[in-house]
Amino acid sequence: MSRAAVPGLPSRYPIGEQLPALYADDDFAQRFTAGLDTVLAPVFATLDNLPAYLDPRVTPTDFLAWLASWVGVSDDPQWPVELRREAVGRAVELHRWRGTRRGLVEALHLALGVHAEVTGDGGATWSSTAGTELPPDPGAEVLVRVWPPREARVDVVRADVVRIDVVRVREIVRAMCPVHMAFRVEALSAPPADEGR
């Protein structure tokens, strides 16, 4: 990431105009300060627009990776720019829900545009009463079912319809779930029948 000189960018604060009157007619001083203005103009333009550089909705595209590193988002340059901007903008919200069903569903929808259903609790149980006996061992596997949006459909033969990248789904689930949790991924062509969607 760098900001280089922009040809023809005028300085909002020309140094030559701020020199004492003695140097106002000095050709060398004016040319020298004009060279400095050329170097400093992008710096002043950046500083004048600093809030825009920190806003993922309007920041320059080459700043997205840098901004993503500030909020702990892995920036994938293969994603469309608008999706990258949304991921950076929603980073705090997604971090808040990390490790939960809602967080996993939101991350899958944001990254791949698929709908998801997460069943199972990953083997976690708890009690609000102190001194109670331990509960029986729950099933330790989480089932993640994904399906495309309603307007899309999955077809194994035709190439012009949506396909769910199960490998990518597994990568996202692995990244979003607690490390001790076992999971299984199923790709469906339509919403589950019991959901009535």
* Six token digits for residue 98: 């990390």
Grade residue 196 by pLDDT with cuts at 50, 70 and 90.
very low
Grade residue 69 by pLDDT with cuts at 50, 70 and 90.
very high
CA pair distance 163, 153, nearest whole angstrom = 8
CA pair distance 74, 95, nearest whole angstrom = 12
CA angle 49, 52, 54 (to 5 degrees): 115
- How many separate helices (H) and strands (E) can be counted in the chain? 8, 3
Residue 81 has pLDDT above 80, yes or no: yes
Residue 149's pLDDT is 79
For 84-131, the DSSP string reads HHHHHHTHHHHHHTTTSHHHHHHHHHHHH--EEEEE--TT----SSTT
* Six token digits for residue 51: 């809030």
Grade residue 99 by pLDDT with cuts at 50, 70 and 90.
confident
Q: What Cα–Cα distance (Å) separates residue 77 from each residue in 65, 117, 174? A: 8, 27, 20
CB burial readout 116-145, b (16+ within 10 A) else e? bbbebebeeeeeeeeeeeeeeeeeeebebb
CA 33 to chain CA mean position, Å: 42
Residue 53 has pLDDT above 60, yes or no: yes
Residue 76 has pLDDT above 50, yes or no: yes
Domains of the chain are 24-48 (no CATH), 99-190 (3.30.300)
Residue 156's pLDDT is 44
Higher pLDDT, 109 or 127: 109
Residue 7's pLDDT is 75
CA pair distance 61, 93, nearest whole angstrom = 22
Residue 102's pLDDT is 92
User: Any idea what DSSP says for residue 195?
Assistant: G
Q: What Cα–Cα distance (Å) separates residue 26 from each residue in 37, 39, 48? A: 16, 20, 30
What is the layout of strands, in order, in the sheet containing 182-187? 115-119, 141-147, 182-187
Residue 164 has pLDDT above 60, yes or no: yes
pTM (two decimals): 0.63
Residue 141's pLDDT is 82
Question: What pLDDT, in 10s, does the model give residues 112-145?
Answer: 888 999 988 766 667 788 888 876 666 668 889 9
Residue 176's pLDDT is 84
Q: Over pLDDT 90: what percentage of the chain?
A: 25
Residue 167: name the closest of 181, 191, 187, 147 by CA.
Answer: 187
Q: Over pLDDT 70: what percentage of the chain?
A: 82
